[in-house]
Amino acid sequence: MEKLVIEGGKPLSGNVRIHGAKNAALPILAACTMAEGVHRIGNVPDLLDIHVMLDILRALGCKAELKDDVVSLETSSAQSSHIPEELMRQMRSSIFLMGPLLSRFGHVQVYQPGGCAIGERKIDLHLKGLQALGAKIEESGNTIKCSVDRLRGTDITLDFPSVGATENIMMAAALAEGVTTISNAAREPEIQDLQNFLNAMGAKMIGAGTDTITIEGVERLTPRAYRVIPDRIVTGTLMVAAAATRGSVTLENVCPAHLTSVIHVLKRAGVQIVASDDIIHVSNSSRPRAVERIVTSPHPSFPTDLQAQLMVLLALADGISVVKETVFEGRFKHVDELSRMGADVRVDLNSAFIRGVPRLYGATVEATDLRAGAALVIAGLAAAGTTIVEQIHHIDRGYDQIEIMFSRLGAKIERFSPVRHLKVP
């Protein structure tokens, strides 16, 4: 397996451009199947998850190509609504295709999706939403079959503001008969991006970004060229990395409005942040301050996807910080790995108590999931000595060549692949 080798202790410095948002691109690519024709989606990151989604679309009969951050997708040739199980196991976001395929073909067969092991991530809200729209759901073991004669609009109230369920229902309802209202909807920027894309194709929906989304179903959608929003989690990761290494970094192609809670927490830690238009400058020349209490929660609160990265900064802070994780119960797996590097963190149920230490030390650690892996890279950049991060395929799911991104900021980080010895006959 590939690994990253990091020589730490050097402040990050310079400019870097943020790539498009994976969590916006994936549902938008799924939504493309609802409109027959040629789609061109720009600012798409070159990530493992994106390639899995493109493989799924090809398996359905679409023609798909990613070149220079643009996906060209021909959906007229799609014939199948059966997503291969081996591909679904590789990526949880494959579940986004349920709503679009159901609305186009009237039936879809999927399997329980895979993804990072960060705790229980049920898809019951997806299924309940589609059932409310008129779909018949049949579950047998790991297989899920959905069928419908005609999707019909209705009022749906989510038990939890799930991003995936909100997006799946939005896509299905776009072509349903009548009006659908989603209450307690997720409010993430990626949902606003999906609404903007669907409306560009001819859908009629309002309310994304609030807790109530209203969709008036239309007869058909038409392909449109579209550009995905910047990745706020990658942006936040780099902001934390700049602060943890006591560096000075300018981030371009960003949306500061998507990072209000992150900016607020980092400023509480003493980090200097200047934001304007599509640029954020982050600098920190001294030891960060502890932050008394941070609670992860759905947008616009502090994102769970940046909890692990922030913990690295707090592990180096002066004082004791408390982080409460309310979204995924399995999202503290990075704590043991950070402890190998000298961090002082105690976990009690869904809260982590972090006593800051003067410095971290290089060690061999393992990325247990996507965001934990990013956190360990930050820790390696800030630590004294050499850090080796293993199982980096997790990181590749959400960061486009993370070693190159940090190298552009002066980091000493390299990717190494295992040497394969060929047998001599």
* 146 carries an active-site annotation: no
Per the annotation, binding residues for UDP-N-acetyl-alpha-D-glucosamine are 92, 305, 327
Domain assignment present for 421: no
Phi-psi region of 284 (alpha: psi -120 to 50; beta: other; left: phi over 0): beta
pLDDT surpasses 60 at 2 = yes
Mean pLDDT of 128-145: 91
Given 32, 62, 116, 255, which residue is catalytic? Answer: 116
Residue 333: what pLDDT?
Answer: 87
Domain assignment present for 424: no
Amino acid at site 395: I
β-pairing, 179-183 with 155-157?
Answer: parallel
pLDDT surpasses 50 at 120 = no
Residue 47: what pLDDT?
Answer: 92
| Model confidence band, residue 420 (pLDDT cutoffs 50, 70, 90) | low
pLDDT surpasses 70 at 117 = no
Cite the beta strand spans of 267-403 per DSSP E: 272-276, 279-283, 294-295, 320-324, 344-348, 351-355, 364-366, 386-390
**Under DSSP, is residue 368 helix (H, G, I), strand (E, B) or coil?**
coil
pLDDT surpasses 90 at 124 = no
Do 268 and 164 belong to one domain? no
β-pairing, 212-216 with 204-206?
Answer: antiparallel
Domain assignment present for 64: yes
In whole angstroms, give the CA distance from residue 27 to residue 167: 7
Residue 37: what pLDDT?
Answer: 96
What's the first-to-final CA gap in the chain, in angstroms? Answer: 26
- Domain end, chosen from 227, 258, 277, is at 227
Which of 307, 357, 302 lies closest to 334, judged by CA?
307
In whole angstroms, give the CA distance from residue 277 to residue 334: 34
Domain assignment present for 422: no
Do 192 and 316 belong to one domain? no
In whole angstroms, give the CA distance from residue 252 to residue 235: 9
Do 267 and 403 belong to one domain? yes
Least confident of 150-159, 210-219, 414-423: 414-423
Residue 122: what pLDDT?
Answer: 67
Mean pLDDT of 60-74: 96
Do 189 and 307 belong to one domain? no
On whether the CB atoms of residues 213 and 195 are closer than 8 A, the answer is yes
Residue 217: what pLDDT?
Answer: 97
Domain assignment present for 137: yes
Do 27 and 81 belong to one domain? yes
In whole angstroms, give the CA distance from residue 175 to residue 172: 6
Which of 264, 218, 220, 216 lies closest to 239, judged by CA?
264
Residue 85: what pLDDT?
Answer: 86
Alpha helices in 17-110 (DSSP H): 22-31, 48-59, 85-88, 98-105
Least confident of 118-122, 175-179, 221-225, 265-269: 118-122
Amino acid at site 28: I
| Residue that is written with structure tokens 């679009």 in the block | 100
Mean pLDDT of 73-92: 88
**What average pLDDT does the chain have?**
93
Give the neighbor-by-neighbor strand order of the sheet with 248-252: 13-17, 248-252, 279-283, 272-276
Q: What is the pTM of this model?
A: 0.92
Domain assignment present for 243: yes
| Model confidence band, residue 425 (pLDDT cutoffs 50, 70, 90) | very low
Per the annotation, binding residues for phosphoenolpyruvate are 22-23
Do 33 and 9 belong to one domain? no
Do 43 and 167 belong to one domain? yes
Do 182 and 242 belong to one domain? no
**Under DSSP, is residue 383 helix (H, G, I), strand (E, B) or coil?**
coil
Do 222 and 260 belong to one domain? no
Do 13 and 43 belong to one domain? no
The C-alpha angle 99, 223, 255, rounded to 5 degrees, equals 80
**pLDDT tens readout for residues 325-384:** 998 776 788 999 999 999 999 999 899 999 999 999 999 999 999 999 999 999 999 999
Give the neighbor-by-neighbor strand order of the sheet with 136-140: 107-111, 143-147, 136-140
Domain assignment present for 73: yes
Domains: count for the chain? 2
Residue 88: what pLDDT?
Answer: 84
| Model confidence band, residue 119 (pLDDT cutoffs 50, 70, 90) | very low
Do 218 and 319 belong to one domain? no
pLDDT surpasses 60 at 301 = yes
Q: Please state, for a pLDDT cut of 70, what percent of the chain lies above it.
A: 95
Dihedral angle over CA of 356, 359, 364, 365, nearest 10: 30
- Domain end, chosen from 179, 207, 227, is at 227
Per the annotation, binding residues are 22-23, 92, 305, 327
CATH code for the domain of 236 = 3.65.10.10
Do 249 and 302 belong to one domain? yes
**Under DSSP, is residue 83 helix (H, G, I), strand (E, B) or coil?**
coil
| Model confidence band, residue 114 (pLDDT cutoffs 50, 70, 90) | low
Burial of 196 (0-12, 13-18, 19+ CB in 10 A): middle
- Domain end, chosen from 227, 249, 266, is at 227
Amino acid at site 141: G
Consecutive H or E run containing 110: strand 107-111
Consecutive H or E run containing 157: strand 155-157
Domain assignment present for 400: yes
| Model confidence band, residue 90 (pLDDT cutoffs 50, 70, 90) | confident
- Domain hosting residue 274, numbered range: 3-19+230-416
β-pairing, 226-227 with 248-252?
Answer: unpaired
